[in-house]
Amino acid sequence: MLSLGVLASGTGTNLASLIEAIEAGRIDARIAVVICNVPGAGALEKAKAAGIPTVCIPHREHASREAFDAAVQAELERHGVELVVLAGFMRILGSAFVRSWHGRLLNVHPSLLPAFPGFAAHKQALDAGARITGCTVHLVDEGTDTGPIVAQAAVPILPGDDEATLHQRIQRQEHQLLPAVVGLFAQGRVRLEGRKVHLDLDGLDPDAALQVPRA
């Protein structure tokens, strides 16, 4: 069974979607630890309520990015983590950390990458007048939201949308897509080939496997 480490900074709704999918038996994995850099964050409470070990590592208590990353790394190793999921983790991780998790570090981003990387992706999409945005689950490389894409879901931008309404609809898709991708990982169906991800969907309904809504 795949051991996950989830890194979060916020409310933890994506974490909750993983917990739910695991508890329902839809993913053959366990969350070995939830690591949070923000004391009191909702993600910590959600993990504790599910009986998952938690570690709070406030970044301000570390002199450098490297020292913070090393503290995170030590906890991931201590808990035997095999795949790291960034679920709303609002710290940039340094190169050494990213390299050591090559192909085993997932992030969920609220846009259809490579459009609108970095902060305020919803605002970027609204300001650009885009008609469609969405969410992306990707492997993390040393750039900001530039890593190989694993799966995406599209979300229309509707007249009258603001950041809050768009965020809400994108999150609904994230909560489907992230557990679906982690489930594929747990089955050994996600393989990095150079800069691209190969998905082995043999024997699966591809739409269902990636939670793509039917037209």
- Active-site residue numbers? 109
* Beta strands in 2-157, from DSSP E residues, in sequence order: 2-8, 29-36, 54-56, 83-86, 105-109, 132-139, 149-156
CB of 10 to ligand GRF, least distance (A): 3
Map residues 75-104 to x or -, x wherever contact with ligand GRF holds by CB under 6 A.
------------xx----------------
Interacting positions 176-215 with ligand GRF (CB under 6 A): none
Strand-strand pairing, 190-193 and 149-156: unpaired
Residue written as tokens 């991931």?
A: 76
Per CB under 6 A, the list member of 21, 22, 31, 109 interacting with ligand GRF is 109
Asked if 117 touches ligand GRF (CB under 6 A), the answer is no
Would you say 14 or 37 has its CB closer to ligand GRF?
Answer: 14
Strand-strand pairing, 149-156 and 132-139: antiparallel
Asked if 12 touches ligand GRF (CB under 6 A), the answer is yes
Asked if 134 touches ligand GRF (CB under 6 A), the answer is no
Would you say 38 or 76 has its CB closer to ligand GRF?
Answer: 38
Q: How many residues bind ligand GRF (CB under 6 A)?
A: 16
Residue nearest to ligand GRF (CB): 88
Per CB under 6 A, the list member of 2, 5, 6, 14 interacting with ligand GRF is 14
Interacting positions 147-176 with ligand GRF (CB under 6 A): 171, 174
CB of 12 to ligand GRF, least distance (A): 5
From CA 175, how far away is CA 196, in angstroms rounded? 23
Helices (H), the chain: 13-23, 42-49, 65-78, 95-100, 121-127, 163-186, 206-209
17 and 174 in contact (C-beta within 8 Å)? yes
> In whole angstroms, how far apart are CA 154 and each of 58, 85, 171?
34, 21, 11
Please give the residue ranges that form the binding site for ligand GRF (CB under 6 A): 8, 10-15, 43, 87-88, 108-110, 135, 171, 174
